[in-house]
């Protein structure tokens, strides 16, 4: 097993780090404070191939692996976890279209998504179902042979109102997961509307809203996969999404560790640098060790997904659960090491802490990750 980056990986990691330093880091605090959606920065990322990281080259994407994506998202999130996280969602939708849609749907939607001319959101969660995604009630009823009419609502949708395309899980059949299909709903479709942007703790560079459908006409040709395949598509998307959001946690935690390390070397107390105190040295040592352990789990899960291993879902759930919990704790410890300064926005640590807190909830809460892990363990016993 080789833990060293290949020459190609080192090159795109350097590109991502440079992009983050030039295009994200100088503006992240302003986007957060003013709740600005950084459309131009996202389009600049798309020009580097970061809007279609694991879409095949044959369809215009970068054709990289899930491990490659984890490396890139860590670098982007080290500057701005919120913006990096939105890009992971956009990538997930682009991949779903590339993997499961027909050639006509790919030709109609992928070019604009890959270039950043259009942005995409993922609509699964509903106000009344939460973690029980298979119980969703948004319904698509056939209207003739060529059209569905959608009715229902989705909740906590990142990019709600600013995205141009919504990959939406709807019920086309009976109860349970086998009655769910996936359709693409375009912004501007009659009957599609958005709630007021939520006032959130973090992730303020991307709006989060409810998405409503009221007799919303959607062509049957906009369906991804066959009827009844939506839940399987959604869950496969979430395996990769869990790796991506864990990678964003790695980036945020790494940035906080770097900030804390610099602070304890510069700040003095009782006539000595804080870094001279053994208690604080040990804290830094634990933070660095935990970060490295989380990174290894994320990379192992990504490699399993790339290889199509049978235990990939288990490893993705483990990595997401462990990395998002551990990385949030690293941010919290970094804030503590800053003392009162950590609580002040000028020192950035509080922004990372606010942004990483939601990672333990989305893409399946960490309690649901434990359910998945336990189920997989018992299935193999």
Q: Mind listing the pLDDT tens digit for each residue in 250-298? A: 999 999 999 999 999 999 999 999 999 999 999 999 999 999 999 999 9
3 state DSSP class of 216: strand
Residue with tokens 């970094």: 334
Q: Mind listing the pLDDT tens digit for each residue in 333-371? A: 999 999 999 999 999 999 999 999 999 999 999 999 999
Alpha-carbon gap, residue 299 to 357, rounded angstroms: 21
The pLDDT score that the predictor gives to residue 365 is 97
Alpha-carbon gap, residue 167 to 83, rounded angstroms: 19
- Read off the tokens for 48: 């580097």
The pLDDT score that the predictor gives to residue 329 is 98
Alpha-carbon gap, residue 72 to 244, rounded angstroms: 9
Residues near 300 by beta carbon (within 8 Å), at least 6 away in sequence: 315, 319
Q: Which domains does the chain have, with CATH numbers?
A: 7-118 (1.10.540.10), 121-228 (2.40.110.10), 231-379 (1.20.140.10)
- Read off the tokens for 152: 């229902």
Residue with tokens 């590339």: 98
Catalytic hit among 75, 333, 350, 363? 363
Task: Give φ, ψ of 51 to 5 degrees.
Answer: -95, -5
pLDDT(234) > 80 = yes
Q: How confident is the model at residue 118 (pLDDT cuts 50, 70, 90)?
A: very high
**Of 11, 112, 160, 142, which is closest to residue 71 (Cα–Cα)?**
11
Residue with tokens 């959606």: 37
Alpha-carbon gap, residue 186 to 364, rounded angstroms: 25
State what percent of residues in the chain have pLDDT above 70: 100
Q: Contact 208/157 with Cβ under 8 angstroms?
A: yes
pLDDT(72) > 80 = yes
Q: Tell me, yes or no, if 40 is annotated catalytic.
A: no
pLDDT(64) > 70 = yes
3 state DSSP class of 68: helix
Q: Mind listing the pLDDT tens digit for each residue in 299-338? A: 999 999 999 999 999 999 999 999 999 999 999 999 999 9
Pairing mode, strands 272-273 and 208-219:
unpaired
Q: Contact 36/205 with Cβ under 8 angstroms?
A: yes
Alpha-carbon gap, residue 377 to 17, rounded angstroms: 37
Alpha-carbon gap, residue 258 to 253, rounded angstroms: 9
DSSP 8-state class, residue 21: I
Q: How confident is the model at residue 185 (pLDDT cuts 50, 70, 90)?
A: very high
Residues near 285 by beta carbon (within 8 Å), at least 6 away in sequence: none
Which helix (H) or strand (E) element contains residue 29?
helix 28-34
Any idea what the Cα angle at residue 282 is, between residues 277 and 287, rounded to 5°?
130
Q: Taking each helix axis as running N to C, give the angle between helix 230-266 and helix 66-77, from 0 to 180 degrees, rounded to the nearest 10.
A: 40
pLDDT(381) > 70 = no
Residue with tokens 């369809």: 59
Alpha-carbon gap, residue 213 to 221, rounded angstroms: 18
Alpha-carbon gap, residue 130 to 33, rounded angstroms: 28
**Of 145, 167, 172, 142, which is closest to residue 157 (Cα–Cα)?**
167
Task: Give φ, ψ of 182 to 5 degrees.
Answer: -120, 125
Can you say how many angstroms the Cα of residue 236 is from the centroid of all Cα atoms in its chain? 14
């Amino acid at each position: 097993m080789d833990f060293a980056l290949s020459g190609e990986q080192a090159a795109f990691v350097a590109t991502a780090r440079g992009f983050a330093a030039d295009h994200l880091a100088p503006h992240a605090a302003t986007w957060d404070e003013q709740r600005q959606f950084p459309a131009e920065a996202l389009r600049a990322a798309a020009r580097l191939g970061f809007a279609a990281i694991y879409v095949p080259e044959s369809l215009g994407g970068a054709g990289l692996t899930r491990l490659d994506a984890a490396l890139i998202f860590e670098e982007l999130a080290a500057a701005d976890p919120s913006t990096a996280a939105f890009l992971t969602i956009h990538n997930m939708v682009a991949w779903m279209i590339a993997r499961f849609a027909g050639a006509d749907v790919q030709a109609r939607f992928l070019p604009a998504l890959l270039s950043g001319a259009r942005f995409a959101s993922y609509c699964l969660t509903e106000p009344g179902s939460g973690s029980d995604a298979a119980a969703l009630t948004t319904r698509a009823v056939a209207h003739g042979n060529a059209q569905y009419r959608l009715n229902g609502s989705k909740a906590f949708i990142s990019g709600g109102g600013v995205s141009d395309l919504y990959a939406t899980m709807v019920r086309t059949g009976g109860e349970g997961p086998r009655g769910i299909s996936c359709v693409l709903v375009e912004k501007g479709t009659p009957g599609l509307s958005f709630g007021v942007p939520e006032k959130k703790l973090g992730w303020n560079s991307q709006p989060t809203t409810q998405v409503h459908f009221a007799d919303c006409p959607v062509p049957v040709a906009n369906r991804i996969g066959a009827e009844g395949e939506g839940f399987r598509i959604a869950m496969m998307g979430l395996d990769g999404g869990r790796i991506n959001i864990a990678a964003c946690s790695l980036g945020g935690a790494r940035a906080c560790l770097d900030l804390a390390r610099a602070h304890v070397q510069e700040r003095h107390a009782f006539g000595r640098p804080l870094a001279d105190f053994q208690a604080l040295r040990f804290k830094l040592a634990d933070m660095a060790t935990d970060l490295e352990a989380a990174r290894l789990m994320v990379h192992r899960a990504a490699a399993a997904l790339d290889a199509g291993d049978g235990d990939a879902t288990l490893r993705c759930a483990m990595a997401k659960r462990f990395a998002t919990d551990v990385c949030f704790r690293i941010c919290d410890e970094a804030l503590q090491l800053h003392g009162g300064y950590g609580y002040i926005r000028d020192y950035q640590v509080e922004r990372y802490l606010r942004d990483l807190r939601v990672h333990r909830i989305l893409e399946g809460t960490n309690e649901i990750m434990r359910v998945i892990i336990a189920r997989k363990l018992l299935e193999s016993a």
